[in-house]
């Protein structure tokens, strides 16, 4: 009751002359004191070391009060003694004091969405509806009115949601609302058929139209639609969504005749695209292989067709060629399993990054099935844990955020004792408030990241984002203030297309104050001071990895076959070619600079030193097929993970 506020509260109060005695205040949370009714305040001049001790003690006391279930006392410590209003609000929510938490969120933290969610959680639905309407979240408004059995108001809100979706070009969401909320599938079908070409999610809209036709029994209409697509009555930039949609219809439509026609139409459209050389052959052939998995010769034939001629690097002012490394005497590196773990839940894990001694994995889940409750939609899943103990982990989830067919981007940055994780899933934006894994980790999608971001990387307090179709590179500080804005010029023959289940992602790597971007065969390097350079590496860049911080910069760019290693600090950028025998390679730099590469032909290790790439041997003992690789702080450790959530750390004996 006599504690001295340390957090620097900004509420108005009346100072009094120092008396040498501590002021007494009730140890209970009070909105009145926070909003200007604090009364007299006696300001004390406290040494910095003592302030630190008080802060530490206050937080220990707050944690104790939470453990004891005395949430108002904990909120008093957070809000009045520490001026940590976020913790005060979340503590009030945990204690069931929803109205007071909502006032904090709305009036002091200026986060109306969280305020509305608090009121909704507390059953104060009409008050929550008023805030949701100001935020134009009409679908949520309709859901709440439906819960209140006010059907006319619910229908009005759903109609507003449909119109808002149509205005911003989100025809898939508008169609789903008409079908699932307003229960007018005929109207939904008309909307999606007329506008699927204008949507950013063309494949999903096309599939939704066939789903509705199948459910409504309009098989003749579905057949007519297939025939129109078979005739190629669409622009060339719609080839991939059309082929993806037709192939899915061929496998899932409820009428057999429509399936057969869709399968035939898929082959016709693919053939036309290959003849016209639209640059989509690899993805198109993958779809054909899925249509006929029993055809064992088709994968062999398509790989033979796709295999390019060997690419030779030519000398230019910006590139210095080194011959590919020659394998000397046969050598073997043995991998021993050091740690093994598995991420929780039925989640497709998309990417994994490390920071300090922790890992952060991002995935998507179409349905919750036990994690969020049976029958509920899933969304983005973020798991974080310690590399020292892979058996322990924490999961953050954002329910009701569908990500089907959308790319997932994650950039991890660490500074002081804070790790910031920026997440983007195409048009999906994870709204504040952001859940946190622990006090030192902040995760979510900041408002200054645009939905058309297709490349993301963070390091040293700067987040770099590539926006498409502008091909602009922007660098932001942690507050979202832009530090750099450069225009990138991609090669004229570069095609930015849609892949199966996700859209193309621009390969990027950030280290210290530099960022490296791959566009076609061009490797860009941009500094925080806005310097921009480019190197033609002679092959289509599919992924980029870099050496660890505070080591000599080395960048590896991988192609479909082979790749290059670049030493940016040596002259104008020394480039060494990797063997073209590496098929679909992926790699990682270990702590000591060694480069580990996995390809369809197996595992290899290279030494990178003084501008030379030296083959050290094949790696034996790794049985896990990787989705991605990572390194740890230990020089001889390699981390491997795959999309089912398995994580293994190997110790390498050279």
Q: Which of 309-313, 378-382, 559-563 has the highest mean pLDDT?
A: 559-563
The pLDDT confidence band at residue 431, using thresholds 50, 70 and 90, is very low
The pLDDT confidence band at residue 454, using thresholds 50, 70 and 90, is confident
Q: What is the mean pLDDT of residues 65-78?
A: 87
The pLDDT confidence band at residue 397, using thresholds 50, 70 and 90, is low
Q: Which of 157-166, 265-274, 510-519 has the highest mean pLDDT?
A: 157-166
Q: What is the mean pLDDT of residues 371-377?
A: 38
Question: For the chain, what is the mean pLDDT?
Answer: 78
Range 84-123 burial, b when 16+ CB lie within 10 A, else e: bbbbbbbbbbebebbebbbbbbbebbebbbbbbbbbbebe
Rounded to 5 degrees, what are φ and ψ at 217? 75, 20
How high is the pLDDT of residue 41?
Answer: 53
Report the range of poorest mean pLDDT among 16-30, 348-362, 512-526. Answer: 16-30
**In this predicted model, which residue has the larger pLDDT, 421 or 112?**
112
- Alpha-carbon span 225 to 229, nearest angstrom: 6
How high is the pLDDT of residue 379?
Answer: 66
The rounded percent of the chain whose pLDDT value lies above 70 is 75
Q: Is the C-alpha dihedral spanning 279, 280, 282, 288 positive or negative? A: negative
How high is the pLDDT of residue 42?
Answer: 53
pTM beyond 0.75: no
- Alpha-carbon span 474 to 422, nearest angstrom: 15
| Rounded (10°) CA dihedral 421, 425, 428, 432 | 0
**In this predicted model, which residue has the larger pLDDT, 639 or 367?**
639
Q: Which of 38-47, 355-364, 583-592 has the highest mean pLDDT?
A: 583-592
What is the total residue count of the chain? 654
The pLDDT confidence band at residue 55, using thresholds 50, 70 and 90, is confident
CB atoms within 10 A of CB 351: 20
pLDDT per residue as tens digits for the range 215-253: 999 999 999 999 999 988 777 778 888 988 999 999 999
**In this predicted model, which residue has the larger pLDDT, 142 or 423?**
142
**In this predicted model, which residue has the larger pLDDT, 383 or 434?**
383
- Alpha-carbon span 341 to 635, nearest angstrom: 21
Residues with Cβ within 8 Å of 70's Cβ and at least 6 positions away in sequence, in order, are: none
- Alpha-carbon span 466 to 504, nearest angstrom: 12
How high is the pLDDT of residue 64?
Answer: 83
Decide if 550 contacts 526 (C-beta within 8 A).
no
How high is the pLDDT of residue 67?
Answer: 81
- Alpha-carbon span 261 to 249, nearest angstrom: 9
- Residues of the chain by 3-state class (helix, strand, coil), percent to 5: 35, 30, 40
Residues with Cβ within 8 Å of 409's Cβ and at least 6 positions away in sequence, in order, are: 351, 422, 423, 424, 425, 453, 454, 455, 456, 505
């Amino acid at each position: 009751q006599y504690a001295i506020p340390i957090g620097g509260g900004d509420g108005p109060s009346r100072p009094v002359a120092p008396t040498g005695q501590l002021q007494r205040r009730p140890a209970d949370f009070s909105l009145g004191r926070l909003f200007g009714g604090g009364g007299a305040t006696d300001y004390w001049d406290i040494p910095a070391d003592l302030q630190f001790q008080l802060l530490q003690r206050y937080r220990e006391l707050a944690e104790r009060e939470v453990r004891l279930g005395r949430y108002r006392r904990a909120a008093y410590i957070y809000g009045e003694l520490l001026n940590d209003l976020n913790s005060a609000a979340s503590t009030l929510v945990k204690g069931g004091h929803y109205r007071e938490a909502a006032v904090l969120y709305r009036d002091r933290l200026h986060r109306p969405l969280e305020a509305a969610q608090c009121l909704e959680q507390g059953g104060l639905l009409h008050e929550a509806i008023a805030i949701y309407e100001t935020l134009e979240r009409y679908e949520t408004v309709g859901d709440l009115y439906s819960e209140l059995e006010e059907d006319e108001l619910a229908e009005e809100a759903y109609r507003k949601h449909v119109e808002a979706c149509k205005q911003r070009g989100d025809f898939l969401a508008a169609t789903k609302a008409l079908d699932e909320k307003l229960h007018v599938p005929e109207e939904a079908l008309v909307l999606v058929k007329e506008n699927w070409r204008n949507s950013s999610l063309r494949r999903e809209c096309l599939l939704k139209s066939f789903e509705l036709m199948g459910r409504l029994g309009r098989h003749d209409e579905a057949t007519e639609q297939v025939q129109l697509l078979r005739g190629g009555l669409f622009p060339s930039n719609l080839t991939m969504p059309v082929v993806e949609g037709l192939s899915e219809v061929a496998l899932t439509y409820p009428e057999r005749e429509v399936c057969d026609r869709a399968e035939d139409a898929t082959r016709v459209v693919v053939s036309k695209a290959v003849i016209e050389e639209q640059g989509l052959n690899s993805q198109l052939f993958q779809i054909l292989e899925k249509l006929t998995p029993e055809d064992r010769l088709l994968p062999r034939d398509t790989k033979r067709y796709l295999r390019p001629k060997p690419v030779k690097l030519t000398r230019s002012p910006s590139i210095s060629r080194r011959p590919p490394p020659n394998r000397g005497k046969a050598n073997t590196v043995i991998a021993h399993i050091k740690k093994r773990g598995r991420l929780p839940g039925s989640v497709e894990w998309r990417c994994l990054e490390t920071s300090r001694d922790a890992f952060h994995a991002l995935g998507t889940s179409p349905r919750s099935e036990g994690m969020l409750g049976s029958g509920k939609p899933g969304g983005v899943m973020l798991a974080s844990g310690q590399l020292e103990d892979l058996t322990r982990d924490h999961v953050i989830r954002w329910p009701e955020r569908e990500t089907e067919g959308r790319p997932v981007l994650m950039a991890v940055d660490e500074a002081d004792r804070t790790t910031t994780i920026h997440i983007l899933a195409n048009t999906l934006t994870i709204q504040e408030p952001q859940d946190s894994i622990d006090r030192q980790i902040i995760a979510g999608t900041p408002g200054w990241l645009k939905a058309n971001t297709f490349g993301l990387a963070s390091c040293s307090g700067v987040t770099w984002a590539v926006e498409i179709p502008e091909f602009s590179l922007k660098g932001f500080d942690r507050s979202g203030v832009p530090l750099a804005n450069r225009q990138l010029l991609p090669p004229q023959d570069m095609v930015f297309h849609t892949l199966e289940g996700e859209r193309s992602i621009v390969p990027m790597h950030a280290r210290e104050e530099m960022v490296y971007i791959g566009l076609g065969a061009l490797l860009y390097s941009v500094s925080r001071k806005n310097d921009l350079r480019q190197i033609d590496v002679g092959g289509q860049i599919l992924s980029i990895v870099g050496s660890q911080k505070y080591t000599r910069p080395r960048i590896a760019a991988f192609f479909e076959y082979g790749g290059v290693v670049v030493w940016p600090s040596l002259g104008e950028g020394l480039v060494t070619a990797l063997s073209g025998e590496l098929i679909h390679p992926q790699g990682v730099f270990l702590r000591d600079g060694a480069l580990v590469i996995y390809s369809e032909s197996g595992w290899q290790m290279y030494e990178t030193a003084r501008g030379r790439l030296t083959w050290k041997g094949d790696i034996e003992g790794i049985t896990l097929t990787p989705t991605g690789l990572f390194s740890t702080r230990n020089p001889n450790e390699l981390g491997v993970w795959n999309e089912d959530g398995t994580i293994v750390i190997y110790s390498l004996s050279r």
